[in-house]
Structure 1
Amino acid sequence: MKRTKLYMDTAVSIEVVTGKSTSEATVAQKMNQAFEAFQKVEQACSRFSPDSELMRACQQVGIPVAVSPFLFEPLKFALGMAECTDGIFDPTIGKRMEDYGFNRHYLTGEAMYSPSTASVTYRDIVLDEQERTLCLLKPLVIDLGAVAKGFAIDLAVHELAEFGGFVVNAGGDLFAGGMNDSGEAWEIGIQHPERKEEVISTVLLSNEAICTSGGYERKSATVADIHHLIDPKTQTSPKDWVSSSVIAPFAMMADTFATSSFLLGAVEGRGIVEQAGLQAIFITSDLQLVRVGGI
């Protein structure tokens, strides 16, 4: 059984391998619960809606704000990656993203224009794990675009864990659980950066996630030579890779490492994947494939 819905500016598809003993009603119920995970994370983490939990929290400066796990957990993971990359991965990039034209809601077309101090970093965000609060030290805009989708995939996977085979695919970022209907690992294609309908490579996955960050999908309409992956220190888009696909045990990890390795470039990007013991396929500007981790 397969169903598709629209969340987080992408088509989210869920496919479940159904056995003879599994009723369609049971599968449908679990699928709906999995889709609800995307809805909850989007409502919590969207930078494009003034009513999201994230954007409401960004209106409070210098005041600890209690937040739900749907915001706290991905933000905590993002701040950990910011620390690991010395701020090359930085969730306070949100205002720069707005300035470069990445500020319109995919459904309403409404544009966000937020106040922010000119110089901010992830260190201007304070999380209190015991109280589950978020406190901003300066006016800033948090962007969780490299974390939230993976987090939503992982929550959806939790709802589908009882099934022997399933895939949760959010625009090419996905988790493949168990085996396909032939009893084999899932064969997953990696999109060709220049020819959208073609696959440039494939991988076999079972109980693993793969997420891809690429500079070819979303380009700035206001600033030349800029796409949605931006180095916060240079305020430019790195060019070493055109695509970075990372395989990890869960999707939030794959999502964050894909973006981080893209931003870090050829040497450090490869290094952070190797250090974490993950696998990756990088694609260079001349469409050469660089494989890491024995894949």
Structure 2
Amino acid sequence: MRKTKLYMDTVVDIQVVIWKLTSKEEAEAKADLAFEAFRNVEQACSRFSPDSELMLACREVEKPVQISPFLFEPLKIALEMAKLTDGVFDPTIGKVMEEQGYNRHYLTGEHMKSPSDDVVTYRDIILDERGHTIYLTKPLVVDLGAVAKGFAIDLAVNELKDFAGFVVNAGGDLFAGGVDENGSPWKIGIQHPERKDQIITKIEISNQAVCTSGSYERRNANIPGMHHIINPKTKHSPNDWVSCSIIAPFAMLADVFSTAVFLLGREKGQALLKSVDLKGLFITSDLEMVSVGGV
């Protein structure tokens, strides 16, 4: 059974292996619940919708705002990664992203222009675990593009976990559960950075996520070397890699580490990944593949 829908500017593809003990109706019902997870996370975390929970919270400065788990959890992970990388990864990059032209809603075409101080960092966001509140010390724009999709995948996986085999694929970021229709681990292709319709290599996974950050998808045509992954300290895009794929037990973990490793560059990125015992497959601009953790 296979179904697709459009969420988060991405085609979300859900595949469930139907064996004797699984009915198609049951699989479709669970898939619908999985798609609902994407809808909930998009409504909470979108930087491109003025009425999303995130953008409404960003308009409230110097006052605590209670937020739902659909926003709190990905924001918490983003702030933890910001601390781990000393701000090289920073969710307050939102205004910089807007200024670079990454501010258009994929459905409505509306362009976001949000107020923000010129100098902001993740330290200007205070989360309260007990009250589930966010407090902003300055006007700023939060970008959760490196965590929200992974979080939605994980919520969708929770709806499908009882099936013997399934894949939740959101534009190449995915979780593969159990086994395929042949009873084997899932074979997942890694996109070729220069040839959109081709894969450069394959990996085998089961009950794992793989998420990829790449410079080849959303480049800034006006500035050579610039793309949608931007170092908040330099306001420039790193280019040690053209593709970073991370394998992890959860999609949000793979999602956030793929962006962080890309931002940190060749040496520091690999060191970070090794320090947390995750696996990765990186591709340089001359298509050299670098493996970490035995991929």
Say whether the fold is shared (TM-score over 0.5): yes
- Sequence identity of aligned pairs in percent? 64
Tell me the CA shift for residue 52 of structure 1: 0.2
Does the Cα contact within 8 Å between 1:101 and 1:221 map onto a contact in 2?
no
CA distance in 1: counterparts of 2:44 and 2:141, whole angstroms: 14
Q: Which amino acid aligns with 1:243?
A: S
Superposition deviation, residue 50 in structure 1 = 0.2
TM-score, normalization by structure 1: 0.99
Contact (CA 8 Å) 1:101, 1:222: kept in 2 or not?
no
Offset from partner CA, 1:203-250 (integer Å, 9 cap, x none): 000000000000000112554431000000110000100000000000
CA contact (8 A) 1:215 1:228 kept: yes
User: 2:201 — aligned with what?
Assistant: 201
Q: Does the CA-based 8 Å contact 1:102-1:220 persist in structure 2?
A: no
With 220-229 and 148-157 compared, the bigger mean Cα shift is at 220-229
- Measured against aligned partners, the alpha-carbon deviations of 1:167-203 in whole angstroms (never above 9, x if no partner) come to 0000000000000000000000000000011111110
Are the equivalent residues in 2 in contact too, given 1:246–1:280 (CA < 8 A)?
Answer: yes
Distance in structure 2 (CA, Å) of the matches to 1:110 and 1:219:
20
The equivalent of 2:137 in structure 1 is 137
Verify the 8 A CA contact 1:100 1:221 in the aligned structure 2: no
Q: Once the 2 structures are TM-superposed, how far is the Cα of residue 284 of structure 1 from its aligned partner?
A: 0.5
- Residue 21 of structure 1 deviates from its aligned partner by 2.0
Q: Which residue of 2 aligns with 1:181?
A: 181
Distance 1:221 1:55 in 2: 27
Aligned length: 295
Contact 1:281 1:289 in 2 (8 A): yes
Runs of 4+ in structure 1 displaced over 6 angstroms? none
The two structures have a TM-score, normalised by structure 2, of 0.99
How far apart are the structure 1 equivalents of 2:190 and 2:3?
A: 21
2:105 counterpart residue number: 105
**Deviation for aligned residue 1:64:** 0.3
How many angstroms apart in 2 are the aligned matches of 1:145 and 1:17? 30
Aligned to 2:34: 34
Which residue identity lines up with residue 179 of structure 1 in the other structure?
V
Match of 1:147 in 2: 147
SS at match of 2:254: helix
Amino acid at match of 2:191: Q
- Asked whether the 8 Å contact 1:100–1:223 carries over to 2, the reply is no
Cα distance in 2 for residues equivalent to 1:282 and 1:224 = 22
1:25 matched to 2:32? The reply is no
Q: In structure 1, what is the Cα distance between the partners aligned to 2:167 and 2:182?
A: 14
Checking the alignment, whether the CA contact within 8 Å between 1:190 and 1:199 is kept in structure 2 is yes
Segments of 5+ residues of structure 2 without an aligned counterpart are: none
- Counterpart CA distance in 1 for 2:272 and 2:189 is 23
Aligned position for 2:270: 270
Residue in 2 that maps onto 1:236: 236
Deviation of the 1:24 alpha carbon: 1.2
Q: 3-state SS of the aligned residue for 1:241? A: coil
- Give the Cα–Cα distance (whole angstroms) in 2 for the partners of residues 221 and 288 of structure 1: 25
Report deviation, 1:23.
1.4
